[in-house]
Amino acid sequence: MSDDQTQQHDDCMQRFIDLANEMKDEAVPVNVVSWALMTASGIYSTYSVTGNSGGLNPSGIDKVAEAYKQNLTNIQALKKAEDERKKAAN
């Protein structure tokens, strides 16, 4: 990703988080918000690959699932590193 795309990614991600937090503040349970966001992401991921003309085949599902898994793994590693930095600073 270019620096511009990275910034766009970060800005879009923050907008989704802000919207999710608005829903939470409207008393929608966090688990409902999370699952709805995941469903919307799955729908949009399918659209980004296939357009409006169909769905993913099994290998496409595996590829998208692996991308989600890798992203989640990266997020957890970043969160762990941040927690360790905070502990070291105290």
44 and 27 share a domain? Answer: yes
37 and 1 share a domain? Answer: yes
pLDDT (tens place) for every residue of the chain, 90 residues total:
899 999 999 999 999 999 999 999 999 999 999 999 999 999 999 999 899 888 999 999 999 999 999 999 999 999 999 999 999 998
Diameter of the chain by CA atoms?
A: 54
Q: Tell me the three state secondary structure of residue 23.
A: helix
47 and 13 share a domain? Answer: yes
46 and 2 share a domain? Answer: yes
Cα gap 40→54, rounded to integer Å = 16
65 and 41 share a domain? Answer: no
pLDDT of residue 44: 94
65 and 89 share a domain? Answer: yes
Q: How many domains are contained in the chain?
A: 2
| C-alpha radius of gyration, the chain, whole number | 16
Full domain range(s) for residue 48: 1-55
72 and 29 share a domain? Answer: no
78 and 50 share a domain? Answer: no
Q: Which helix (H) or strand (E) holds 59?
A: helix 58-89
44 and 63 share a domain? Answer: no
